[in-house]
């Protein structure tokens, strides 16, 4: 298990190559990644507001990172639609 600021992960969700994934496992993995990314994106935006008070340029980069995370999440949603 590893922890993030507001949540933890069981390591088996990241342990690839143990066996061939079936459709249910792929759906579960994609759902996990989607929710994980959404959580990080929300955190980035909240922290950017705090960072803005100290360093507006850094805050802008954190907001850009949130946008990139959203783009990654959109691709994962597309992938989930293919399963």
Phi, psi dihedral angles at 46 (to 5 degrees): -65, -45
Average of per-residue pLDDT across 47-76:
98
Q: What element of type H or E holds 59?
A: helix 56-82
- Per domain, the residue ranges of the chain are 44-83
pLDDT, tens only, 28-38 = 999 999 999 99
Q: Residue 74: its pLDDT value, please?
A: 98
Average pLDDT, the chain: 89
Residue 2 pLDDT > 80: no
pLDDT above 90 covers a percentage of the chain that reads 77
C-beta atoms surrounding 26 within 10 Å: 14
pLDDT band for 18, please (50, 70, 90 cuts): confident
């Amino acid at each position: 298990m590893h922890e993030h600021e507001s949540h933890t992960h069981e390591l088996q969700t990241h342990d690839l190559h143990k066996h061939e994934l079936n459709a249910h496992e792929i759906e579960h993995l994609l759902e996990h990644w989607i929710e994980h990314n959404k959580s990080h994106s929300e955190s980035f935006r909240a922290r950017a507001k705090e960072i803005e008070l100290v360093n507006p340029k850094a805050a802008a980069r954190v907001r850009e990172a949130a946008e990139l995370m959203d783009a990654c999440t959109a691709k994962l949603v597309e992938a989930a639609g293919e399963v």
